Amino acid sequence: MGKIAIIAGREFNERVRKKSFIITTILMPIAFVAIMFVPVLMMNIQSDEKHEIVVVDQSGTIAPKMQDSATIDYTSSDRTLEELTAEQQDIFGILIIGSDVATNPSNVQLLTYESSTINIESEITDQIRTILEAEKLKAYNIEDIDSILEAIKTPVSLKVKQLGESGETKESSSILNIALAYIFGFLIYMFVFLYGNMVMQGVIEEKSNKVMEVMVSSVKPFQLMMGKILGIASVAVTQFVIWVVFILVVGGVAMSLFGVSDMMAAATASAAMDPAAMMGAAEMPAMDGELLAVLGTITDPTYLLRILGGFLVYFIGGYLLYAAMFAAVGSAVDNEKDTNNLQLPITIPLILAIFVMMSAMQDPHGPLAFWFSLIPFTSPVVMMVRLPYGVPGWELALSIGLLVATFVAMVYLAGKIYRVGVFMYGKKPTLGELAKWIRYK
């Protein structure tokens, strides 16, 4: 064990001193925070440019009722399309509404002098749809139809709570569950693939530099492989911890700048109030039920422990399992170009896990999600999708047990490949030859 620790320490020290490690450690959390907050900032930065649209309404019912908006000014015209296009127009476009638009709503055409946008098109169609619906309702001669329609508008806010075995209730948020399932499932996929490849590249580099031939004279190939796997695992854990701390700090600053902290404080205060009192509190902003559910869920210590604890267990287990396979591939070839065929059996389960993850997000307790959360080669990704929704203890224990057992078996088999492969040069082995290496005593 002492030699494994020495090799692991060497791997750790070499990699954390590289510029690539320092750069990715700094840039990744900044990019993550930017992905979360830049869209919010961009939404708040709106252009004050007005788009003038000339409306040629052949039906005579739509144009008088179209109202200018923050981005579009409508101007009704009695001129024909030929007359409007015959001269240079300093406008955005021409909207042509057919005479039979009431019975043929698709008889609407927008001609633009520059590229249109989905926002402009949606705004135009929404206005025309609303006007047409109002005109159709008037045909029924219902008195005070506008006030009736306004009175019957009833927004519904669904509050979801999960029942425990003893009958107690706790907050539940499907939006938060889906978000965490996707984020943590994809993080495990990314980390396992990234650091597993790092193990393989390290083995190939040392093998090509003849470093291994010197090292294996004093340590067993199995010890060398385990030292590299554990050393790079410690690099991954260190980088991940730095990222978490960095994201919390930078994210907290960004939340303060965008006023999200004040909104969350108000939501927490609102959640503690009686619903009837909330409706009557003029100074309390109206909070969406889903937001309150999210805040209630993320402040539940049991929920956080289940998610974060599960992530650490499956991240470490998945990494160790795949790192052993990547190390075996690296020891069997002389350069990275020769790894393509041998990598295929390793990458297929990871890619399959991503596809199953998408399905499991919709049905986390279905048979597909259940079985793939037990299969060790896909369970690190798929089980992370199921954890936010709650998983029975026996399923979790069985999944972790199978993952650990498969890792031990894979290390044993990979060690045999590693033992032979580190001394093989000049030939790219096939999968059949790797199977023969495993049977060597």
Token couple for 179: 């978000």
| Contact status, residue 207 vs residue 424, Cβ threshold 8 Å | no
Token couple for 356: 């199953």
- The DSSP line for 394-432 is HHHHHHHHHHHHHHHHHHHHHHHHHHHHTT--S----HH
> CA-to-CA distance for 436 and 417, rounded, in angstroms?
9
Whole-number pLDDT of residue 279: 42
Token couple for 128: 């025309």
> CA-to-CA distance for 174 and 194, rounded, in angstroms?
30
Cβ-count burial 45-68 (b if 16+ within 10 Å, e if not): eeeeeebebbbbbbeeebbeebee
pLDDT tens for the 441 residues of the chain, in order:
677 788 788 778 877 887 777 787 777 777 766 766 666 566 555 556 788 989 998 888 888 888 888 888 998 888 888 888 887 678 888 899 888 888 888 889 898 888 888 888 899 999 999 888 888 888 787 777 778 878 888 776 666 666 666 666 555 566 777 777 788 888 888 888 888 888 888 777 776 666 665 666 667 767 777 777 888 778 878 877 887 777 677 666 666 665 555 555 554 454 444 444 444 443 444 445 555 555 556 656 677 787 888 888 888 888 888 888 888 787 777 677 767 777 788 888 988 998 988 888 888 888 898 999 999 999 999 998 888 887 888 999 999 999 999 988 888 787 777 777 666 666 667 767 777 777 766
> CA-to-CA distance for 375 and 352, rounded, in angstroms?
12
Token couple for 201: 């590249």
Give the residue ranges of DSSP H helices in 273-300: 275-280, 289-298
Return the residue matching tokens 């307790």. Answer: 365
DSSP helix/strand/coil, 108 = strand
Whole-number pLDDT of residue 91: 86
Half-sphere exposure of 89 (CA within 13 A, CB side): 19
- Residues β-bridged to residue 93: 53, 112
Which pTM was predicted? 0.64
Whole-number pLDDT of residue 280: 43
Task: Sketch out the chain's domains with CATH numbers.
Answer: 51-143 (3.40.190.10), 173-439 (no CATH)
In 169-256, where do the E strands start and end? 169-171
- Which class for 258: exposed (0-12), middle (13-18), buried (19 or more C-beta within 10 A)? middle
Sorted by sequence, the CB contacts under 8 Å of residue 1 that are 6+ apart come out as none
CA distances from 152 to 147, 149, 155, 223, 370 (A): 9, 5, 10, 73, 44
